[in-house]
């Protein structure tokens, strides 16, 4: 199975930026669409951004205009650029196939904490 490793999370002040990376042990192309999920305390896991094989992207309304999903197929790596971060963005972020019903294995995720 493809192993996914998320990185790039950390502590940031509201209004700051972070860039998350998702490294795959094998090609993620065959699993597209792929995307970034997050799970905040007391909430269910939510798909916040996705990218298809033709490069089309989707975003949940709460992050639209602030987050950008991208990929480097040669490196089997996906990214999530997060700008103008808000306290409500605080969560553990994961990458996987989209929608969630297609996800077969989960990595450890990376913690994003935004202070007010």
The pLDDT of residue 104 is above 80: no
**What is the per-residue pLDDT for 3?**
87
Which of left, alpha, beta for 8 (phi over 0: left; psi -120 to 50: alpha)? left
- Residues 91-113, mean pLDDT to the nearest whole number: 94
Q: How confident is the model at residue 59 (pLDDT cuts 50, 70, 90)?
A: very high
The pLDDT of residue 36 is above 80: yes
Percent of the chain whose predicted confidence (pLDDT) is above 90: 80
Distance of CA 15 to the CA centre of its chain: 18
Q: Given the DSSP bridges, would you call strands 10-13 and 110-115 parallel, antiparallel or unpaired?
A: parallel
Mean pLDDT, the chain, as a whole number? Answer: 94
Half-sphere exposure of 44 (CA within 13 A, CB side): 3
CA distance 108 to 8: 13
- Residues 95-99, mean pLDDT to the nearest whole number: 94
- Residues 38-50, mean pLDDT to the nearest whole number: 96
- Residues 16-21, mean pLDDT to the nearest whole number: 98
């Amino acid at each position: 199975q493809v192993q996914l490793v998320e990185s790039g999370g950390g502590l940031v002040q509201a209004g700051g930026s972070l860039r998350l990376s998702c490294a795959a042990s094998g090609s993620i192309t065959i699993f597209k669409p792929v995307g970034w999920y997050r799970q905040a305390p007391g909430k269910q896991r939510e798909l916040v951004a996705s990218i298809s094989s033709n490069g089309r992207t989707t975003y949940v309304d709460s992050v639209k205009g602030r987050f950008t999903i991208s990929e480097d197929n040669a490196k089997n790596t996906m990214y999530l650029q997060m700008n103008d971060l808000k306290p409500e963005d605080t969560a553990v972020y994961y990458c996987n196939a989209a929608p969630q019903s297609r996800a077969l294995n989960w990595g450890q995720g990376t913690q994003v904490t935004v202070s007010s």
